[in-house]
Amino acid sequence: MIHSEEAFEFTVGHLATLHEAKDHRGYRAGEHDCDVWVPSLAWSYWSSRIDNRERRYHSSSDLEQPHVIPFYDAVWELCRIGVLRSGEFAPMGMTMHGSSDRYTITSFGWKWLREASQRPIIDPSRLAEMLQGFTPIFGGGYAQRSTEAVRCYRTANYLSTCVMAGAAGESVLLAIAIARSGDEGKVLAEYKTGSGRSRVTKGIIGSVSASTASQFQAGLQVLHYWRDDAGHGTMTPIGEIEAHASLTQLLRLSQFASTHWVELTDNTV
């Protein structure tokens, strides 16, 4: 079966192709008078991937519900953020039967898709899965924030991506400090004071090797720079490139902290 994130990315890619090929007046999906007919969308994905050894699949009508449901979820998510709307291109009170299969790109959607087609290469579904793999070690706060960071990126909310990536990086730092101290309340109280982040960081790197300390501090740039810049109330130049970089930095920090967990949390030195 297809992962929901993969269905979303495939749908965006399909729509971006329409944007490149057609103008703002819209594209009619065959006789359906819309930009997206969900069964056809699902079939375009499965026609070259589905296993036909046990059953012959000839068209979208042969697909089973588990094949199609993720694509309904994908188009609904795109409706939620304003890229699609349910129904035909211009129903004018004459909506066809079964119109829930039909979706049309909005005026905002055409602009959003133009940016999506130029987006840096990244696989949000794979990235989200990789980041979630660190949840057992960094905790629920990390899981929540890293998931939000990826969701913000895929919907082109780049400023929010950087804020949430920085917040997830903060969760990594705190998880290490708490494991090292054994006293969560004490660590959080210190962190909330003036220059608390700096003191907590120094408490960790003060007894590790110079190489580990240097790489750990470099990884924390996702927190020091992107989140601080994004969190201020002034205008910021943060865009696609910065958001992409913040997610990449978060992944690197997570991988490094996980690999060097024992050294970073050892308080016996």
Give the model confidence (pLDDT) of 72-129 as tens digits. Answer: 999 998 898 888 998 877 776 665 554 578 898 888 888 888 776 565 545 566 777 8
Q: Is the pLDDT of residue 210 over 90?
A: yes
Tokens of 177: 């400090």
Burial class (CB in 10 A: 0-12, 13-18, 19+), 242: buried
Parse the chain into domains and list their residue ranges: 4-116, 124-265
The more confident residue out of 131 and 23 is: 131
Rounded to whole angstroms, the Cα distance separating 215 from 73 reads 40
Instruction: Give dist(CA 31, CA 68) in Å, integer.
Output: 20
User: Averaged over 137-164, what is the pLDDT?
Assistant: 89
| pTM summary value | 0.65
CA distances from 269 to 154, 161, 174, 262 (A): 43, 37, 19, 12
When the candidates are 1.20.58, 1.20.120, 1.10.8, 1.10.10, the CATH number that belongs to 124-265 is: 1.20.120
Percentage of the chain with pLDDT > 90? 31
- Quick one: average pLDDT of 42-59? 68
Q: CA torsion, points 13, 16, 20, 23, in degrees to nearest 10? A: 150
Average pLDDT, the chain: 81
Residue 141 one-letter amino acid: G
User: What is the C-alpha to C-alpha distance for residues 67 and 39, in angstroms, rounded to an integer?
Assistant: 10
Work out the average pLDDT over 237-250.
85
